[in-house]
Chain A
Amino acid sequence: MKLLGLLMACTLAAFAAETVLIQNADIYPINGAPLKGGSLLIQDGKIVEIGAKIVAPKGATVLEGKGLRVYPGWIDSATQLGLEEIESIRETNDTGEIGDFMPQLKALSAVNPDSEHFGVVRVNGITTAIALPEGSGGRGGGAAQMIAGQAALMHTDGWTWEEMEINRSAAMVLNFPAAAGRGGRGGGMPADIPDMFPGAAGAAGNAQRAVLDQIAKLNAFFDDARKYRTAKAANLPDFRKDLKFEAMLPVLEGKVPLAVTAARATTIHDAIAWSEKQNVKIVILQPREITKAGPELKAKNVPVILGRVLALPEYEDSEYDQAYTQPLEAYKAGVKFALGTFTNEFVRDLPYQAATAVAYGLPHDEALKALTINPAQIWGAGDLIGSLEKGKLADLMIVDGDPMDVRTQIRHLFIKGKEITLSNKQIRLYERYMSRQ
């Protein structure tokens, strides 16, 4: 009987163009005040109406939402969903390619829609994610690189990656050259400390020269891309298409932002200065010194994707809650920010990461925005997703409490208006082994 129920649920889920009326629920649209005891109508994958009382259209499925709340689905702004299945097994990783300048690479077409991770994160309300090609080398087998490829904005449900796509080129990933490196959280010392010791200063000087050398290479690549654009515009008969430079055109034209990894304040400063010279749009990935970098980020109107809130402090002598307060610092500085978990196994904890930021001072509403409308706008999909509004895609969840509280359960989940079966491999294993006598 249970099996039959499951089969029926699967069959139902397969019909996308459902008409669903959610009624008597508290609707939290994010972009406005909550509507208590309201209704929301889903038709053809979209939200077609929100109001105090909506009459159910003929044939509509009616969901009684008394005592429940409706929120837009969560957006995780940095994942390897679909690109990485098992962290330690190289054959299951497609996150980092070989080569220094690889703008032509696309994360989207390497996304495996059948990855078990999608089912796991969906049941916690993650309806959209950025799949990020990483240039850090190693895991995907690739060498260190600067331009890692195109990040995809995608739904966490679909039969194929094409169906999952929201934007296959939401951003171009650039690992900005940095002397201090990007890893090693929890220990180490700030960049200005080694400079004080003559022995270390030599090494620091060498590292700084290496950074300048890399930035020079990056500039040369951008110069070449511009020359290519000029050559293409000239439309000469011997013009030959180049896939790398072709992929750079939307970046040069400001249509696609660069998602720039820069952890330290000095690197963030360098990256912003560089982007101004190059006249390109940037989003900073995983900044870790917002207190220092905040004013400049605000002044230059650069949004950021903050990494995990549940993280160690940046340096050994940082305040114990330094990582917990990064979202608050971003908010206080007036910097636009969203959250990303950067590792597949943490994606389902996205709302809890945001709740930690609230515990350490971030207003509750701002935490919600960091998981919904902010990332939607940062990734250029503010008119499609990120809030409950007429005309937007029906990516939403019906929950029985505060959606960032670990005790809250999701009762219904919709992606593009399709009700998602709240099951996955882990739930199936649970049910199977609970029944073992």
Chain B
Amino acid sequence: MKKIILGTLLALAPLGADTIVIQNATVMTEGPKGIFKGSVVVKDGKIADIGEKVMVPAGAIVIEAGGQYLIPGIIDCHSHIAGSGNINEGSVSVSSMVDIKDIINPDDIAIYRALAGGVTTANILHGSANAIGGRTLPLKMRWGKNAQELIFAGATPGIKFALGENPKRSGNPQGGRGATGAIPVGRYPATRMGVEDVIREAFNDAKAYKVDWDAYDAKVAKGEHPIPPRTDLKLQALKEVLENKRYVHVHCYRADEILMMIRAAEDNGFKVRTFQHVLEGYKVAKEIAAHGAGASTFSDWWAYKIEAIDAIPFNAALMTKKGVVVSLNSDDAELMRHLNTEAGKAMKYGGMNETEALAMVTINPAKQLGIDKTVGSIEVGKDADLVLYDGFPMSDFAKVQKVWIDGTQYFDRDKEIAAQATKEAEKKQLLDKEKAAQKQQPTRRPNQ
């Protein structure tokens, strides 16, 4: 009985989200309304109204947010959290058959920590050991929900490509950084030349595969009953890329390989959706903009490997000035907790204004992931993914107070603080109980 009630509650939770009015906040919308001081009304998980003055619906929970800042939920365009075990299928040069969707771990504490840092959506990517890696997808950080319920409904799935040191090192007998786990020695490719070739060969195959399937589909459409071509799970994902049904997110560092990827994509009739890391993107910003790709970079990481030696903290600002849609990502469970201040660095390095800087962790990654119709800004009709800060949100002096996803509150600092003593007491109780059990049964073994 209890289980049934719980099940019902869970199913209802998103729909039954409260009607909320957050009032007197400085609202940085990242939408047409810009920055204003006033209220946001949340109803049925969506943003129902925004403005200096709003009607407070009957029965609404009113949150007084004077002196505080409300921003759209932060979107991390590059994360590896919430995966179960290794997310780097490095045994082959093309691993487009594997999918992050199959290994989502909703119990990863990194989800909650990211949430507490204002992140509401994250693009979960495969690792970078191979030129063409696994399939990817964005998740919402709905802590406490199951794996299925974390998936961002309706988002176009992606695929990870990787250029440069990581895929080539996996093929290098010396291994080294990027060669994670048991990767066969001597796996092709071992150079940037080989990386390009792997990508071009794969699309050469994928295009032939698509011709076969298109011919088959045409015959079916005419009412014929042909024998279908053999399904190839690797090529299937690349066929989806050619059909613009799957986004390509390319891990890259140097300008030469970025340009190579643009030309290889153009020659094969597809588009790169985002260049990831793209630390030398500033050197080929013109070409990236012309191709129409987004760029998702780090604010100021550099010098951790040779292909990161020309990284500059002005990368994000420079690419923006040259017409590229730029986001700042984390690629790291720790950095993920303060992407707001990574955005702040775009103000310091390159003089972005507040709106341009905040866009790099909100509306811009939403655009890059093709989810900007539902998230990324505070606009009527969009998902109520909101973060409340106690100060200017891109300064390190501010901290997250509350986070909502689809109008449901998933983080509240006050409640977090209030619960600390209870949690400590519970932890102690459990430990004491275990210690007492140990004394009574000194030979007891742990469950195998």
Contacts and interface: CB of A to CB of B under 8 A. Distances in A.
A153 interface: no
A359 B397 contact: yes
B347 interface: yes
A345 B338 contact: no
A349 B420 CA distance: 30
B310 A196 contact: no
Interface residues of B, number: 56
A348 B303 CA distance: 13
Nearest to B334: A312
B19 to A, nearest CB: 28
Interface in A268-303: none
A358 interface: yes
B446 A345 contact: no
A404 B391 CA distance: 14
Contacts of B245: none
Interface in A173-221: 186, 193, 196-200
A319 B335 CA distance: 17
B109 interface: yes
B292 interface: no
A253 interface: no
A359 B399 contact: yes
Given A86-B303, A406-B344, A430-B314, A359 B446 contact: no
A436 B350 CA distance: 16
Contacts of A198: 438, 442-446
Contact of A406 (B312, B334, B396, B416): B396
A120 B445 CA distance: 55
Contacts of B300: 345, 348-349
Contacts of B308: 86
Interface in B69-95: none
Contact of A89 (B302, B305, B344): B305
A109 interface: no
A85 B313 CA distance: 17
Chain A interface residue bracket vs B: 35 or more
Given A86-B309, A355-B397, A433-B283, A319 B420 contact: yes
Nearest to B282: A433
A58 B442 CA distance: 84
A313 B113 contact: yes
Contacts of A320: 112-113, 116, 416
A316 interface: yes
A106 interface: no
Interface in B263-320: 282-283, 285-286, 300-306, 308-314, 318
B65 interface: no
B165 to A, nearest CB: 8
B48 to A, nearest CB: 30
B29 to A, nearest CB: 20
B427 A317 contact: yes
A426 B313 CA distance: 7
Nearest to A358: B397
Contacts of A355: 395-397
A430 B281 CA distance: 11
A364 to B, nearest CB: 9
B113 A312 contact: yes
Interface string B343-376: 0110110100000000000000000000000000
A1 interface: no
Contact of A186 (B306, B334, B394, B445): B334
Contacts of A345: 300-304
A354 B394 CA distance: 15
A352 B312 contact: no
A197 B443 CA distance: 10
A115 to B, nearest CB: 10
A360 B341 CA distance: 15
A122 to B, nearest CB: 14
A165 B345 CA distance: 31
Contact of B347 (A317, A321, A402, A407): A407
Contact of B176 (A88, A186, A360, A427): A88
B434 interface: yes
Nearest to A120: B302
A196 B438 contact: yes
B431 interface: yes
Contacts of A430: 282, 312, 314, 318, 350
A77 interface: no
Nearest to B443: A198
Interface of A: 85-89, 116-117, 120, 186, 193, 196-200, 310-313, 316-317, 319-321, 344-345, 348-349, 352-353, 355-356, 358-360, 402, 404-409, 426-427, 429-430, 433-434, 436
The 6 closest A-B pairs by CB, nearest first: A355-B396, A406-B344, A430-B314, A426-B312, A88-B305, A87-B304
Interface of B: 109, 112-113, 116, 176-177, 282-283, 285-286, 300-306, 308-314, 318, 321, 333-335, 337-338, 341, 344-345, 347-348, 350, 391, 394-399, 416, 420, 427, 431, 434-435, 438, 442-446
Given A310-B338, A407-B347, A430-B350, 20 more contacts: A86-B303, A87-B304, A88-B306, A116-B303, A186-B333, A186-B334, A313-B113, A316-B109, A317-B427, A319-B420, A355-B397, A356-B396, A407-B395, A426-B302, A426-B312, A427-B314, A429-B312, A433-B285, A434-B321, A436-B283
14 contacts: A87-B304, A198-B438, A198-B446, A310-B334, A312-B334, A319-B420, A345-B301, A345-B303, A355-B395, A360-B399, A405-B396, A406-B394, A434-B321, A436-B286
